[in-house]
Amino acid sequence: MRWSYLASVGALAVVLSACSSTPDSGAGAGDGADSADGAQSTGMYGDGGMSESQMYEGQPAERERVVYFGFDEYSVAGQYQGMLQANADFLKENGNREVVIEGHTDERGSREYNIALGEKRANAVRDVLLSYGVSSSQIDTVSYGEESPAVDGSGESAWSKNRRAVIEYGQ
């Protein structure tokens, strides 16, 4: 069993090393930042990349993109329906735009529980957007659990701001 594992890891290493490429010496070579090993990087803004202002350009006028949840809850409250409808309308009008819905929790509970709860929150917001006609290909979800708090500290005032799902716009 151990030898088959090592053989699998070795085969994977060979395949991954075969995927490397050499820098192009044609037009545009040297435009990016050169590293010590000769690799080039154009960064976020080079060669067709978008700046942050371009990425968020044309986002819904109602810039609210956060849904807050009660303790140990993952159902979307009615007060967020208008905001989610505005985001859904924008996404339907801009079929090339995508969002990632990030699920978050407060610090209480185990890491595993909070990852699962964050996923339920992100999926709940996704389901609302889908019900408004947004294509599933435009939506991705991720759970950060308690790992990325909006507010540091303990107590209900901090916890209530950390129990959330955030709609993040991509390209």
Domain containing residue 146: CATH number: 3.30.1330.60
With a cut of 50, say whether residue 113 has pLDDT above it.
Answer: yes
Question: Has residue 24 been placed in a domain?
Answer: no
Residue 155 resides in a domain: yes
The β-bridge partners of 140 are 100
Q: What is the pLDDT of residue 60?
A: 57
22 part of a folded domain:
no
Closest CA to 147 of 161, 160, 162: 162
pLDDT of residue 163: 97
Query: Residue 155 in contact with residue 129, Cβ under 8 Å?
Result: no
Model pTM? Answer: 0.66
pLDDT band at residue 171 using 50, 70 and 90 as cut-offs: low
Beta bridge partners of 102: 142, 166
Q: What pLDDT does 43 receive?
A: 42
pLDDT at residue 28 greater than cutoff 90: no
Beta carbons within 10 angstroms of residue 97's beta carbon: 17
Q: Is 13 helix (H, G, I), strand (E, B) or coil?
A: helix
Domain hosting 160: range is: 52-169
- Tokens coding 92: 């339907």
**Euclidean distance between CA atoms 167 and 107, whole angstroms:** 21
The domain total for the chain is 1
